[in-house]
Amino acid sequence: MEVRVRFAPSPTGYLHVGGLRTALYNYLFARHNNGKMILRIEDTDRTRFVEGATENLIKYLEWSGISFDEGPHIGGNYGPYIQSERFDLYKKYGMQLIEKGQAYYAFDTSEELDLMRERQQKAGVAPKYDRTSMKNQFTLGEDKTKDLLSQNVPFVVRLKVPFEGEIKFKDMIRGEVTVRSRDVDDQILLKSDGFPTYHLANVVDDHLMGISHVIRGEEWLPSTPKHILLYQSFGWEAPDFAHLPLLLNKDKSKLSKRQGDVAVEDYVGKGYFKEAFVNFIALLGWNPTSDREIFSMQELIETFSLEKVNKSGAIFDITKLNWMNSQYLRTKSLNELADFIIPFLQNINFNFISKDYLMKVIDLIKERIDNLIELPEFAPYMFAKPKEYDQDFIKKHWKENTQNTIEKYFVELKNITNWDYQTLHDFTQKYCEENNLKLREIVHPLRIMITGKSVGAGLFETMSLLQQNDVLDRIFYFLENIALKLR
RNA sequence: GAUCCUAUCGACUAAUGGUUAGGUCACCAGCCUUUCACGCUGGCAAUAGGGGUUCGAAUCCCCUUAGGAUCACCA
């Protein structure tokens, strides 16, 4: 049987990192098994509709490198792929269940339902629709029901869950799960506005779209018995289920907005590479061997299996993501890196001089940062004269005789004709030897004068990238304006 | 409260009845050195607790504890 899986988000605004991982696992499973990956938009709740959310979802799914074979943006033989466009279908199937006696009409108002739950709460029993005492097809009788229907009184359709027996299903990650039927609620299938609930829509669509495996978050585990019951009621074969462990906050609760960024776009904005982000997300809850950490999308596809997905939730801690990002930073080409960072720089009006020059700077600092977005802060001196100087570093390295030493060295530096790394390095080393100086007695003061900072790439590499007159200006300026005040 | 799920270093995880319980990130130390990094070497650090089953249990079973998810005319 062909593997067909789907990612079925609801368009409520943005792509959640947990959603991205669910989509990724679906994608990896599909590609690993030469199956089909389907995108379906679950927008049956009109009150939560957000303009542009679907486009946004697709944008970041595409950013991550997850591709689809069918979906609202590309079509397919099982469309439409947006549930609101399948409106009539659900009604038809809902009615079919009523005819089969597997579902029924109910006319309770939300106030009446609230009261019911209140009563149950007080009595200490689990809140659950009581079809023996509420206002529905059974308590009202056939005639009264028809009456209300013909008067267009608002109604919902509920699933008729048997009072006896148990519901069993096999989860590919958790094994067999058993729930007593009497613990399952008479779920609303069709709302009074005629739209289906998630439960009806997802079962109908998964069946009609030929979905072979439902891979979704663990939050759906408790409602899976309802879905199993629905498949049985329709007389359809249920797909295989795999419920993924949740992504967690630091305090182990379900990953939420309140405790940090949860939108994929936030991490895009923070300068993470998609390769690093996908790699990181993939390893949160799944691991092929644990003897390696870096996987390309292709390698993820080759090694992925649902059997190796963990049962327990994983804390979304970006410490390791930062390291992964640094790994990708070191392997990408300078051209690629420049193209990546230029839009970020333009966005903050940072003058990077030229792409060619930018590439040289990146080459110098890429092993010293985890994320390219740190570049303007890490090495502003490569693009403009320093505006401030690290005082601690000055205190530490600007000694009694430093002024004297540097002034003499400065004179010689002016005479250098080949302004390149090798010349600068050899010259300085020789100068130190001849004057009985340690290299650091020159290098450290020079660094602070030229960069203003205590940290950075090799000093001679840094100097050679800058223009000779620029470097001389910086030293002169420091000697004249800053060093004097140190006395 | 009810139902369901889960439980290995601080974090991500490996070990599917036999290992000194392994790796990666983070952290700490040393080496390298031109600062900071990188790199290299080493270190810290875990089977929630209690019962079984077994020659042997992180692994299988039960109980306890803890955490989480869910209990909507939301998905």
pLDDT digits (tens, 9 = 90+) for A100-110: 999 999 999 99
Bridge partners of residue A175, in order along the sequence: A171
What confidence score (pLDDT) does residue A15 get?
Answer: 95
Find the Å distance, CA of residue A19 to C1' of nucleotide B64. Answer: 35
Nucleotide closest to residue A128 (CA–C1'): B71
Phi and psi for A326 in degrees, rounded to 5?
Answer: -65, -30
Tell me the fold of A385-486.
Arc Repressor Mutant, subunit A (1.10.10)
State how far the Cα of A361 lies from the Cα of A378, in Å rounded to an integer.
Answer: 11
pLDDT at A287 over 70: yes
Start-end of CATH 1.10.8.70 domains in chain A: 333-376
State how far the Cα of A183 lies from the Cα of A126, in Å rounded to an integer.
Answer: 8
User: Mean of the pLDDT values across residues A288-311?
Assistant: 94
State how far the Cα of A16 lies from the Cα of A249, in Å rounded to an integer.
Answer: 13
Find the Å distance, CA of residue A365 to C1' of nucleotide B37. Answer: 9
Nucleotide closest to residue A393 (CA–C1'): B35
What confidence score (pLDDT) does residue A479 get?
Answer: 85
State the catalytic residue, choosing from A92, A254, A257, A408. Answer: A257
pLDDT at A290 over 80: no
Tokens 């399952």, residue located: A184
Long-range contacts, A411-420 (Cβ 8 Å, 24+): A413/A471, A413/A472, A413/A475, A414/A472, A416/A468, A419/A463, A419/A464, A419/A467, A419/A468, A420/A464
Return the ∠ at Cα A36 (arms to A35 and A38), rounded to 5°.
150
What confidence score (pLDDT) does residue A17 get?
Answer: 96
Find the Å distance, CA of residue A257 to C1' of nucleotide B50. Answer: 39
Confidence category of residue A179, pLDDT binned at 50, 70, 90:
very high
Structure tokens at A333: 């080409």
User: Mean of the pLDDT values across residues A285-289?
Assistant: 92
State how far the Cα of A467 lies from the Cα of A465, in Å rounded to an integer.
Answer: 7
Residue nearest to nucleotide B68 (CA to C1'): A253
User: Mean of the pLDDT values across residues A290-301?
Assistant: 93
Structure tokens at A96: 């079919």
Nucleotide closest to residue A255 (CA–C1'): B68
pLDDT at A384 over 70: yes
Of A26, A92, A428, A480, the C-alpha closest to A239 is: A26
State how far the Cα of A23 lies from the Cα of A65, in Å rounded to an integer.
Answer: 11
Nucleotide closest to residue A83 (CA–C1'): B75
Start-end of CATH 3.40.50.620 domains in chain A: 1-71+245-331, 86-244
Confidence category of residue A394, pLDDT binned at 50, 70, 90:
confident
State how far the Cα of A231 lies from the Cα of A471, in Å rounded to an integer.
Answer: 75
Confidence category of residue A485, pLDDT binned at 50, 70, 90:
low
Q: Of A200-214, A339-353, A465-479, give the lowest mean pLDDT range.
A: A465-479
Confidence category of residue A398, pLDDT binned at 50, 70, 90:
confident
What confidence score (pLDDT) does residue A487 get?
Answer: 58
What confidence score (pLDDT) does residue A481 get?
Answer: 85
Start-end of CATH 1.10.10.350 domains in chain A: 385-486
Q: Of A237-251, A429-443, A455-469, give the lowest mean pLDDT range.
A: A429-443
Q: Is A122 annotated as catalytic?
A: no
- Express each pLDDT in A222-242 by its tens digit: 999 999 999 999 999 999 999
Phi and psi for A214 in degrees, rounded to 5?
Answer: -100, 110
* Greatest alpha-carbon span in chain A: 112
CATH class of the region A86-244: alpha beta
Find the Å distance, CA of residue A368 to C1' of nucleotide B42. Answer: 23
- Express each pLDDT in A184-210 by its tens digit: 999 999 999 999 999 999 999 999 999
State yes or no: cis peptide before A80, omega within 30 of 0: yes
Nucleotide closest to residue A368 (CA–C1'): B37
pLDDT at A412 over 80: yes
Task: Specify the pairing of strand A166-171 against strand A188-190.
Answer: unpaired
State how far the Cα of A104 lies from the Cα of A74, in Å rounded to an integer.
Answer: 37
State how far the Cα of A375 lies from the Cα of A350, in Å rounded to an integer.
Answer: 11
What confidence score (pLDDT) does residue A59 get?
Answer: 96
Strand ranges for A99-248 from DSSP E: 103-106, 156-159, 166-171, 175-180, 188-190, 213-217, 240-244, 247-248
pLDDT at A88 over 70: yes
Return the ∠ at Cα A11 (arms to A272 and A191), rounded to 5°.
155
Confidence category of residue A289, pLDDT binned at 50, 70, 90:
confident
Find the Å distance, CA of residue A215 to C1' of nucleotide B27. Answer: 37
The mean pLDDT of chain A is: 93
User: Mean of the pLDDT values across residues A331-336?
Assistant: 96
Residue nearest to nucleotide B25 (CA to C1'): A320
Q: Of A318-332, A333-347, A405-419, give the lowest mean pLDDT range.
A: A405-419
Dihedral sign for Cα A302, A308, A312, A314, please: negative
Find the Å distance, CA of residue A225 to C1' of nucleotide B9. Answer: 37
Structure tokens at A169: 């299903």
List, in order, residues 6 or more apart from A237 with CB less than 8 Å away: A231
User: Mean of the pLDDT values across residues A462-468?
Assistant: 93
3-state SS, residue A40: coil
- Express each pLDDT in A122-146 by its tens digit: 888 888 999 999 999 999 999 999 9
Nucleotide closest to residue A114 (CA–C1'): B72
User: Mean of the pLDDT values across residues A67-88?
Assistant: 94
Q: For residues A154 and A192, is the Cβ–Cβ distance under 8 A?
A: yes
Q: Which nucleotides of B are covered by protein (CB under 7 A)?
A: 1-8, 10-14, 22-26, 34-38, 67-75
CATH architecture of A1-71+245-331: 3-Layer(aba) Sandwich (3.40)
With 0-12 / 13-18 / 19 or more C-beta atoms within 10 angstroms meaning exposed / middle / buried, residue A148 is: middle
pLDDT at A486 over 70: no
Confidence category of residue A259, pLDDT binned at 50, 70, 90:
confident
What confidence score (pLDDT) does residue A1 get?
Answer: 81
DSSP H helices in A8-164: 17-32, 53-64, 87-99, 110-123, 137-140, 142-150
What confidence score (pLDDT) does residue A484 get?
Answer: 67
Find the Å distance, CA of residue A172 to C1' of nucleotide B52. Answer: 29
User: Mean of the pLDDT values across residues A428-455?
Assistant: 90
- Express each pLDDT in A42-66 by its tens digit: 998 888 888 899 999 999 999 999 9
Q: At what angle are helices A439-451 and A421-434 packed, to 10 degrees?
A: 130
What confidence score (pLDDT) does residue A77 get?
Answer: 96
Tell me the fold of A333-376.
Helicase, Ruva Protein; domain 3 (1.10.8)
Residue nearest to nucleotide B2 (CA to C1'): A126
pLDDT at A395 over 90: no
